[in-house]
Amino acid sequence: MNRQPKERFDSKRFSIMGILQKYVIIIVFVLCILVFGIINPKFLSGSNILNILWQNAYMVVASLGMAILLIGGGVDLSAGYEISIGGVIAAACLVWWNIPIWLTIILSIAVVVLLSMLNGFITVKFKINALMVTLGTMTIYSGISNIFTNQKAIFNLPAAFKFIGQGTIFGVVPLVAVIMVILIAAASFILNKTYLGRLIYAVGVNPEAANLAGIKVEKTKMMVFALAGVFFGISAVLLVSRTGSANASMATGTEFTCITAAVLGGVAIQGGEGKIWSVVVSAFILGILANGMQIIGLGVYAQYIAKGTILIVAMAFDTYQKANGTKRLKS
């Protein structure tokens, strides 16, 4: 007679823990805002909120590409330099070669897609771990970017192009925020509502099983790298249009922040699991941390420590959850 109430209590407790685990990222997001707002009220000012949107729109878009890659069982450590190359290509097209803005945007994105697909081709063709492949191409792309620019920045971009990253709609809403929201919706739609999305999850969970089920695993992986390249390329356009200039190392470290945002947002590092909305929230948490730490007087190195700690904790939590899930299945 006493067992049933205990079971109901345990079930209720488990349900509460499940809800907390599911929405913990939202709780962390709100806490970050409250803490920095209490320490320095300037953090909650309208101008600073808009500043966070402007500064992090390109990072959120790049994080979408990285999340798709991770869900599909890949990763890209060269993403930062792909974005840098896309940025300097865009600047060179506009300043050196006087190419129209619309064609510049297409060329910039296309170059980044090709670089990302090269990573995918080497990974698939030679069956090398994507981590090792992109570690190598990271240094290659760094060299290409520096040689192309002769280690000099490219300035004086046209005002019409800079409007993409600096302009507002109705004088209030940043254009980059609108573009970002559209891309978030597109990424979510692709992963959750399309056949390609189902293939990406299936290949990420177990490529061998996917192959036995008739899925063309290698083709799917190439499509994943290409799709990620599209998001990286758009991110490059948003970044260079916001800064108004481009240089060979303008996006260095972006890949690390993107991976942190994805893992913190619940994307399984082994692949096959993750939600776009939580990755977006996590990317903004990192952006809020960077902005808030600047406002309260902490330098960039303190931000490095915070991001590194967050990545380690997020990966440890992911591993812990996977281990607990395996134990429950065995029991």
Q: Is residue 26 part of a domain?
A: no
Q: Is residue 10 part of a domain?
A: no
The answer to whether 80 and 251 are in contact (CB under 8 A) is yes
Q: Is residue 5 part of a domain?
A: no
How many structural domains are present in the chain? 1
The answer to whether 23 and 271 are in contact (CB under 8 A) is no
Q: Is residue 1 part of a domain?
A: no
Provide the mean pLDDT of the chain: 89
Distance, in Å, from the CA atom of 64 to the CA atom of 23, rounded to the nearest integer, reads: 19
The answer to whether 21 and 15 are in contact (CB under 8 A) is no
* Model pLDDT, residue 196: 96
The answer to whether 217 and 61 are in contact (CB under 8 A) is no
The answer to whether 288 and 238 are in contact (CB under 8 A) is no
The answer to whether 227 and 133 are in contact (CB under 8 A) is no
Q: List, for the chain, all residue ranges whose pLDDT scores fall below the cut of 50.
A: 1-4, 6-9, 329
Q: Is residue 2 part of a domain?
A: no
Q: Is residue 309 part of a domain?
A: yes
Which residues form the domain of 170?
A: 32-38+46-330
Q: Is residue 200 part of a domain?
A: yes
Q: Is residue 16 part of a domain?
A: no
* Model pLDDT, residue 1: 45
Which CATH number characterizes residue 63's domain? Answer: 1.10.3470
3-state secondary structure of 74: coil
Distance, in Å, from the CA atom of 299 to the CA atom of 320, rounded to the nearest integer, reads: 32
pLDDT tens for 278-325 read 999 999 999 998 899 888 887 777 877 887 887 787 777 766 666 665
What's this model's pTM, rounded to 2 decimal places?
0.90
